[in-house]
Chain A
Amino acid sequence: MQTNKYILGVYDNPDKIYSTTKKLINKGYKVDDVYSPFAIHGMDRLLGIKRSNLTVAAFLFAMTGLTLAVTFQVYVSKIDWPMIIGGKPNLHIPTYIPITFELSILFTAFGMVTCFFIVNRMFWGKNADIIDPRVTDDLFVVSIQIQENKTDIQALNQILVENGALEVRERIKD
């Protein structure tokens, strides 16, 4: 049974928290997340986070931008109001390249950043769920979800402290 209770182990060194997390995972504890002031190399793989699909989204957005740009330019220059400029054919394909390229990039960037905000549930003015105010400064926090009748809190505390935790505390998420 999962609970909404979490044990937090606070560390001051990324190496220590990495090795501790690894031990905890090996021992079968349910590590919920690790909070850090910067991305710890390899931590995402350790926590088993699936590689983000943002890249696929990026490709789709690029294709959208590309299609829109080509369609629009062809529509304007060939269908809606054909004009001969500089002796060029109405379907002046090479000169479509720059705008098509720019719009593909624009769509990719904005589309993907929007997706990023949506999957992270980030928006302007959101109240941060701050684990520890110093987690954006110099502390690293591992949070372990407690499972009813399964997690031995005593042993867990001991592991955390033995591996150099500055502080161990409990947190209840609602």
Chain B
Amino acid sequence: MEHAEVHIKEEKFEISSGNKKWAFGLMIVGFLLAVIGYFTYHPHIEGLNEHDLHHLTQKRLWSNLLVNGYFFFIVSICAAAFIAISQIANAGWYVAIRRIPEAMSEYTLIGGPILVIVSLFALPILYHWAHEGIMNPESANFDAILAGKSWYLNVPFFYVRMVLFMSFWMFCAHMFRKYSRKEDLEGGMTNYTKTYALSATFTVIFGFTFSMFSWDQMMSIDAHWYSTIFSIYNFATGWVSALTIMYLFTHYLRSKGLLNIATDEHQHDLGKFMFAFSVFWTYMFTAQFLLIWYANIPEEVAYYKERLFGSYQFLFFFILVLNFCVPFFIFMRRDWKRSRKVGYIVGAALLLGHWLDVYLMVMPGSMNLATLPTAENPGGIIKVPFQGFGIMEIGFLCLFAGLFLWMTLKALTKANLYPTKHPYIMESALHDVGV
């Protein structure tokens, strides 16, 4: 019934030397590890010649770049989606932490071009449908099923879609930031109304385009395979990861005595979101897995055969533990959603879990070698078992994490730590989750 006094003041974030050390340290160490990993990787697989093995090294390199490029990009674009969805839902509570997703979305400025470049190189190396001769009936590599998809899966169309979608999203994310920063100076409702209209447009278009984006980037790696729920599943992955990063940043900033307008109540609500959407992710996972497992149609189960019964089995179950069991059983408790220590542990587990999830979408499909179809191997694909989780993986993960961290921290310095003139700022400041 009565409220503590809240002071809305302009608060700035400054990058400390510790921040710099971490961000650049991660990038440098990551880069070095990746380089070492690349040069020390000498696969020994029976029946493969030197040329194939060299090709495998290339595949691992570009797979890693694709995993990280994709993961960090969808996380930052889901942060923009978080802003848009909260805006059209008239949410008030999140305003105190709004600058964090805004800052996260600024990574797209560099992550977008990186992903485009990675795709440019990765396409002929990783994607079976883009290999030479697959679509050509004259060729020995000809695959009639994939050729039937050439109306959609062809290189020029792939790029047109990718560039078009990504530039639209990045434009919207940019406008969200711009309106929000302008609001701090001007006040009033103009920028709010504009954001509202743009958010509605963005959300609808994002829904459709993100679907295609995930089919292009991820589903077409296993070119024969298809699943209608795949895009929603991918969205769940990006969305939970984005929420987790917001949650971690809020904890971090508060631990440094900043962003005091955000309280345990905000932490609690973000924690609830992480909990709820982890369950949502599990729901998507189950829907896809259960239906494919149950129907047992050969062209569909191929995807799970490698993951569930092949060399990736451990990761498959490990992801379920990280993405479902950890948040579900730990974040069920009210005080653990509010605790910084527990929050850091759960957050780290979730991020690792979702990163591994993307890893598992890419690797079993991309680490294959195309050969001429033979009687024993009519698909013309040699499956390469899990090559281990080596320093190349760790290196690239660190490199991208450092880059993401740096872009986000830098973006945080560009404006007040929370929007001071947002119409819902007081609601957010006095936010209380109730019972």
The answer to whether A and B touch directly, with their CB atoms under 8 angstroms apart, is yes
Chain A interfacial positions (CB closer than 8 Å to B): 14-15, 18-19, 40-44, 51, 55, 59, 86-87, 94-95, 97
Across the two chains, which residue of chain B brings its CB closest to A58?
A: B332
Are A94 and B2 closer than 8 Å at their CB atoms?
no
Whole-angstrom CA separation of A95 from B295 in the bound complex = 12
Partner of B290, one of A40, A55, A59, A97: A97
Minimal beta-carbon separation of B283 from chain A (angstroms): 10
**Cβ–Cβ < 8 Å partners of A51 in chain B:** 435
Interface of B toward A, CB cutoff 8 Å: 1-2, 286, 289-290, 293-294, 296, 332, 334, 432, 434-435
Query: Once the chains are docked, how many angstroms separate the CA of A73 from the CA of B432?
Result: 43
- Sorted nearest first, the 7 A-B pairs with minimum C-beta distance are A18-B1, A94-B290, A94-B293, A42-B1, A15-B1, A97-B286, A41-B1
Query: Which residues of chain B come closer than 8 Å to A19, judged between CB atoms?
Result: 1-2
- Cross-chain pairs A/B with CB under 8 angstroms, 17 sampled: A18-B1, A18-B2, A19-B1, A40-B1, A41-B1, A41-B432, A41-B434, A42-B432, A55-B334, A86-B294, A87-B296, A94-B289, A94-B290, A94-B293, A94-B294, A95-B294, A97-B290
How far apart are the CA atoms of A19 and B289 in the complex, in Å? Answer: 56
CB neighbours (8 Å) of B289 from chain A are 94
Residues of B within 8 A of A86 (CB): 294, 296
**Which residues on B sit within 8 Å (CB–CB) of A59?**
332
* Docked pose: A97 CA to B283 CA in angstroms: 11
Q: Assess the B332–A14 pair: CB atoms within 8 A.
A: no
Name 5 extra pairs, CB < 8 A, besides A40-B1, A86-B294, A97-B286. Answer: A19-B2, A87-B296, A94-B290, A94-B293, A97-B290
Residues of A within 8 A of B334 (CB): 55
Chain A contact surface mostly = helix
Q: Please name the residue on chain B nearest to A62 by beta carbon.
A: B332
In the complex, what distance in Å separates the CA atom of A44 from the CA atom of B1?
A: 11
Task: Report A-chain residues with C-beta under 8 Å of the C-beta of B1.
Answer: 14-15, 18-19, 40-43
The reply to whether B290 and A44 form a contact with Cβ atoms under 8 Å apart is no
A residues within 8 A CB of B294?
86, 94-95
Q: How far is the CB of A105 from chain B (nearest CB, A)?
A: 13
CA of A18 to CA of B2 in the docked complex: distance in angstroms? 9
Please indicate the chain B residues that have their CB under 8 angstroms from the CB of A18 in the complex: 1-2
List the B side residues contacting A97 at CB < 8 Å. 286, 290
Give chain A nearest CB distance to B354 CB in angstroms: 21
Tell me how far the C-beta of A67 lies from the nearest C-beta in chain B, rounded to whole angstroms: 15
**Does the CB pair A95–B290 fall under 8 Å?**
yes
Q: Which B residues touch A87, using CB under 8 A? A: 296
B5 shortest CB reach to chain A, Å: 16
Bound-state CA distance A14–B2 (Å) is 11
Q: Which residue of B lies closest to A18 (CB)?
A: B1
Bound state CA distance, A132 and B290, in angstroms?
56
Distance (whole angstroms) from the CB of A146 to the closest CB of chain B? 26
In whole angstroms, what is the CA distance A97 to B293 when docked? 13
Q: Of B1, B293, B294, B434, which is in contact with the most chain A CB atoms at under 10 Å from its CB?
A: B1
In angstroms, how far is the closest chain A Cβ from the Cβ of B323?
16
Q: A161 to chain B: closest CB distance in Å? A: 20
Residue numbers in A under 8 Å from B293 (CB-CB) = 94
Expressed in whole angstroms, the Cα–Cα distance for A19 and B286 within the complex equals 51
The CA of A54 and the CA of B38, in the complex, are separated in Å by 55
Q: Please name the residue on chain B nearest to A45 by beta carbon.
A: B435
A12: min CB distance to chain B, Å: 15
For B434, the closest partner residue in chain A by CB is A41
Closest to A52 in B: B435
Task: Write out the residue numbers on chain B whose beta carbons fall within 8 Å of the beta carbon of A44.
Answer: 435
The CA-CA distance from A42 to B434 in the complex, in Å, is: 8
Minimum C-beta distance from B118 to chain A (A): 35
The chain A residue sitting closest to B334, CB to CB, is A55
What is the CA–CA distance of A160 and B289 in the complex, to the nearest angstrom? Answer: 64
Interfacial chain A residues near B296, Cβ < 8 Å: 86-87
Which chain A residues border B434 with CB–CB below 8 Å? 41
B332 CB, nearest partner CB in chain A, Å: 7
Cα of A59 to Cα of B332 in the assembled complex, Å? 9
The docked-state distance in angstroms from the alpha carbon of A161 to that of B90 is 41
